[in-house]
Every structure is written in structure tokens, then in C-alpha cells.
């Protein structure tokens, strides 16, 4: 299972890339605005140089022609750019165009299995179902992941990877892994939560204390 970090914050990206556990990055217009970075293109360039895996950069236009123009421009920033397009008719048309020319595409804002099937048919590299936002409105985000994984497994010609997005807590990640989702894009604080267990802290404190008592040294 691949882990992407869902942020446009360069400090978080550098910090988490140093763990060696990061396979990619997803950004979106809201995350870019939150980062406070003044130049989107420079920001994406910097991120793509830090993390060798796919870096999602999202188009801003909503109509087909300007969206395609932006998408072609974003794709040229670096070899590891995945152009992110919304799950709309225009977005899927752009997705088809880009995937046919070998550019990675992440189709975002997916909230139904029907939409995920369309993204796969358009040749998306990734489709991003937003689990947290479905949970927020009283629906079952993880059930959507289960449905999409099941559907895709029946069609070997669908090469689209299920990228679980809008992750809110470690259980979303664990459930996504149990369902066989290919990727989870995870906010930095949730990635850090994945490391944590009180028994790990307690056990380590005990080992450190006992080692000190033993008076021994490794080096």
C-alpha cells in the first residue's frame, strides 16, 4: 500500500519524506491557500524535487479548453506530476486526453462508485474517493472504498488505482489497507498518529531503564 501525504506544507513534506515512508504527495487549491506560499508553480516544483513519487497538482479551470491548457502546463513542471482534475464531464475529458499521452492523472472529488467507474474508463491513474467528507454527511465513506475495490477487481483492464482521500484518522488507513486500496493520502498529523501506541512508549521506557540498570553498552 502506498502512502501519500495530503498537504502543501513544505516543512511537513520534508519532515515526512525523511522517514523514507512517503510514496507521493497530494495538494489541492485549499491546501495551497493554507500553505501561504505565494507561487503555486514554484511550490509544486519544490515538492516534486523533494518526493520522487507522484505529486498531484490540481487544475483551477472548470471548463474543458482552459482546463486542458492548465493541465498540459502543469504536466510539464516535472516528470512526477500527476495532474489532478475534478470528477466532471470536462475533467474526465481532460483525463482521457492526458492519459492517452502518458501523463499521470488523479481524478478528484469522487463520491460514488458510478463516478469511480467513469474515472477508470477515462484512463485515470488514480481516482480519489473522499471518505471523511462522506462520513461528515452521515454516509459511510469506507463502504464506498469497499465497493470500488470490489468493482475494479472484476475488471483487470481497469488500471486505475484507488486513492483513499479525505482521511481523518488512523482507522481510515487500516480499513483501506484491509480492503486492498492501492493508496491512502493522509494528512501529516494522521501519519504521525500511525506511529503511536501507548504500549510502545511504555515498553521503550522500561527497556531504557533496565538497560541503564544492567550497566552494559553496545558501542
Q: Binding to ligand E4P by residue 160, rule CB under 6 A?
A: no
Just list the catalytic residues.
Answer: 84
For ligand E4P, give the closer residue by CB, 95 or 214: 95
φ/ψ (deg, to 5) at 53: -75, 180
For ligand E4P, give the closer residue by CB, 11 or 206: 11
Q: Binding to ligand E4P by residue 126, rule CB under 6 A?
A: no
Residue in 103, 108, 115, 125 binding ligand E4P, rule: CB under 6 A: 108
Q: Binding to ligand E4P by residue 165, rule CB under 6 A?
A: yes
Tell me the per-residue interface mask from 22 to 61 with ligand E4P, x by CB under 6 A, - otherwise: ----x-x---------------------------------
For ligand E4P, give the closer residue by CB, 99 or 108: 108
State the minimum distance, in angstroms, from the CB of residue 214 to ligand E4P: 47
Ordered DSSP codes for the chain: -EEEEE---HHHHHHHHTTT---EEE--HHHHHHHT-S-HHHHHHHHHHH--S-EEEE----SHHHHHHHHHHHHTS-TTEEEEEESSHHHHHHHHHHHHTT-EEEEEEE-SHHHHHHHHHTT-SEEEEBHHHHHHTTS-HHHHHHHHHHHHHT-TT---EEEEBS--SHHHHHHHHHTT-SEEEE-HHHHHHHH--HHHHHHHHHHHHHHHHHT----
Residue in 17, 37, 64, 132 binding ligand E4P, rule: CB under 6 A: 132
State the minimum distance, in angstroms, from the CB of residue 176 to ligand E4P: 12
Segment near ligand E4P (CB under 6 A); pick from 71-79, 115-123, 128-136, 206-214? 128-136
The 10 Å Cβ neighbour count of residue 217 is 6
> Applying CB under 6 A, which residues contact ligand E4P?
6, 26, 28, 108, 128, 130, 132-133, 165-166, 185
Amino acid at each position: 500500500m502506498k502512502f501519500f501525504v495530503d498537504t502543501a506544507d513544505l516543512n511537513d513534506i520534508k519532515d515526512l519524506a525523511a522517514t523514507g515512508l512517503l510514496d507521493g504527495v497530494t495538494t489541492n487549491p485549499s491546501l495551497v491557500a493554507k500553505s501561504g506560499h505565494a507561487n503555486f508553480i514554484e511550490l509544486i516544483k519544490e515538492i516534486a524535487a523533494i518526493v520522487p513519487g507522484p505529486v498531484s497538482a490540481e487544475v483551477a479551470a472548470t471548463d474543458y479548453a482552459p482546463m486542458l491548457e492548465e493541465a498540459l502546463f502543469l504536466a510539464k513542471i516535472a516528470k512526477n506530476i500527476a495532474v489532478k482534475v475534478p470528477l466532471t464531464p470536462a475533467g474526465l475529458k481532460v483525463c482521457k486526453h492526458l492519459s492517452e499521452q502518458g501523463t499521470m492523472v488523479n481524478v478528484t472529488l469522487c463520491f460514488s462508485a458510478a463516478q469511480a467507474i467513469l474515472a477508470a474508463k477515462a484512463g485515470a491513474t488514480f481516482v480519489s474517493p473522499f471518505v471523511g467528507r462522506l462520513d461528515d454527511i452521515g454516509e459511510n465513506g469506507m463502504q464506498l472504498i469497499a465497493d470500488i475495490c470490489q468493482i475494479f477487481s472484476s475488471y483487470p483492464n481497469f488500471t486505475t488505482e484507488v486513492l483513499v482521500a479525505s482521511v481523518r484518522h488512523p482507522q481510515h488507513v487500516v480499513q483501506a489497507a484491509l480492503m486492498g486500496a492501492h493508496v491512502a493520502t493522509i494528512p501529516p498529523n494522521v501519519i504521525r498518529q500511525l506511529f503511536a501506541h501507548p504500549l510502545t512508549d511504555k515498553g521503550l521506557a522500561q527497556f531504557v531503564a533496565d538497560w541503564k540498570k544492567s550497566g552494559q553498552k553496545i558501542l
